[in-house]
Amino acid sequence: MIHKLSNAVITNLINHLRDSETESLRFRQIVQQLARLLAYEAFGILHLEEKKINTWLGESSFSFIQEEELMFIPILRAGLPMLDPLIEMFPKAQSGFLAMARDETTHKAVLYYDKVPECQGKTVVLLDPMLATGGSLADAIEFVKKHDPKKIISLNIIAAPEGLEAIEKAHSDIDLFIAQIDERLNEQKFIIPGLGDAGDRSYNTTG
Ligand code: PRP
């Protein structure tokens, strides 16, 4: 299921990402802020657990997110800045890593590194700012599904309608939270208007 976020703060932050003058430190900071905003929205669908804790008024029950069940998996490189804000918020969560790059000619994703812990019983949260054709995310979902998680959530910042459609078709059982749906893909499969290559912009790699 696709969940589209809509608020002025998100729009404002995304439009700063589109600005070529936004340098890499600020770019990563905005990606981190957007990751937090996506998580606030997405984790509303999680089951809360009642736990007894000691408070200044004595023992009482309160609800908590089961953070030990969370596993964050950024899709490198561009997804990497989204990880820190989330593990700061949920320090008991686990992290895994998938590194993918799109082949420039075929536009298909190639997995070149993976390090993912045991996923059984986990809510796996995939992190990638960009969803263009949806190929990288679809491959990441297939990879994770083979490890039998309890649930898969994807947090993405900008998507092309084509990519969302592809994910909805292939993996309608996951929950995808998207901050901005742009117009379309161009012939090179870049998101229009988009923001360029998020991995390069995050880490000043071009040139
Ligand atoms: C970008 C982006 C996604 C993918 C989206 O990564 O971060 O992972 O492309 O495209 P798709 O939906 O068509 O698969 P890229 O391959 O540029 O690698 P990078 O993160 O190292 O920049």
| C-alpha to C-alpha distance for 193 and 102, rounded to whole angstroms | 19
Supply the pLDDT for residue 104: 84
DSSP character at residue 104: T
Determine which residue's CA is closest to atom 2 belonging to ligand 1.
130
Asked if 53 and 177 count as a contact pair (C-beta separation under 8 A), the reply is no
- C-alpha of residue 133 to centroid of ligand 1, in Å: 9
The model carries a pTM of: 0.96
- C-alpha of residue 102 to centroid of ligand 1, in Å: 6
Residue 69: strand, helix, or coil: helix
Asked if 179 and 164 count as a contact pair (C-beta separation under 8 A), the reply is no
Asked if 185 and 162 count as a contact pair (C-beta separation under 8 A), the reply is yes
In this structure, is the dihedral angle defined by the CA atoms of residues 113, 207, 17 and 195, taken in order, positive or negative? Answer: negative
Reduced DSSP (H G I as helix, E B as strand, rest coil) percent helix, strand, coil of the chain, to 5: 35, 35, 30
| C-alpha to C-alpha distance for 121 and 98, rounded to whole angstroms | 19
| C-alpha to C-alpha distance for 32 and 109, rounded to whole angstroms | 24
Q: Residue 101: beta bridge partners?
A: 110
pLDDT in 10s for each residue of the chain, 207 residues: 999 999 999 999 999 999 999 999 999 999 999 999 999 999 999 999 999 999 999 999 999 999 999 999 999 999 999 999 999 999 999 999 999 998 888 989 999 999 999 999 999 999 999 999 999 999 999 999 999 999 999 999 999 999 999 999 999 999 999 999 999 999 999 999 999 999 999 999 986
Q: Cite the active site residues.
A: 102, 106, 197, 200
Domains of the chain (ranges; CATH) run 2-48+64-203 (3.40.50.2020)
With the most atoms of ligand 1 within 8 angstroms of its CB, the residue from 76, 100, 158 to mutate is 100
Q: Residue 14: beta bridge partners?
A: none
| C-alpha to C-alpha distance for 97 and 72, rounded to whole angstroms | 8
